[in-house]
Amino acid sequence: MPTLPWTVPNEPPQGAEVYVFASRFETRTRWGALKFFARTPAVWRQVSKAPGAYGATLKAAPLRRTFWTLSAWESPAALKAFARSGTHAPTARGLGPQMRDAKFVSWTVTADDLPLDWAEALRRL
């Protein structure tokens, strides 16, 4: 299963509260998974430069049609701004019809807890 490494666009202040967001997407078909996989690099470039992003990673199981994201943000507002801008916004809208299931979860940690652990994210999802 390919996993993109934890990327740190912006260093958080030491001890700061960090907003964590995790998601799980399952596509209806393998064609949908291929579309998701093909659009990942552009969104990954966007998150790697996003204001307020403290870290992100992605796991992909394209043959199982499943993808997981895990990211850390300055605030819910920073994540919302990212999601509604750049490449992410039209990509999310365009992939919507391909989705069979999507789950989202969020929680907070301190900056000292970064990078985030996949085991905790998967447990919460």
Mean pLDDT for back-to-back runs of 10 residues, the chain (125 residues): 90 97 97 93 95 97 95 98 96 94 98 95 97
Query: What was the pLDDT predicted at 88?
Result: 96
Q: How far is CA 4 from CA 8, 67, 93, in A?
A: 12, 11, 23
Residue in the block written with tokens 């799980």: 24
Query: What was the pLDDT predicted at 2?
Result: 85
Query: In order of start, what are the domains of the chain with their CATH numbers?
Result: 3-124 (3.30.70.100)
Query: What was the pLDDT predicted at 1?
Result: 59
Which letter does DSSP use for residue 7 in this model? E
The contacts of residue 120 (CB under 8 Å, 6+ apart) are none
pTM, 2 dp: 0.94
For 97, the 3-state DSSP assignment is helix
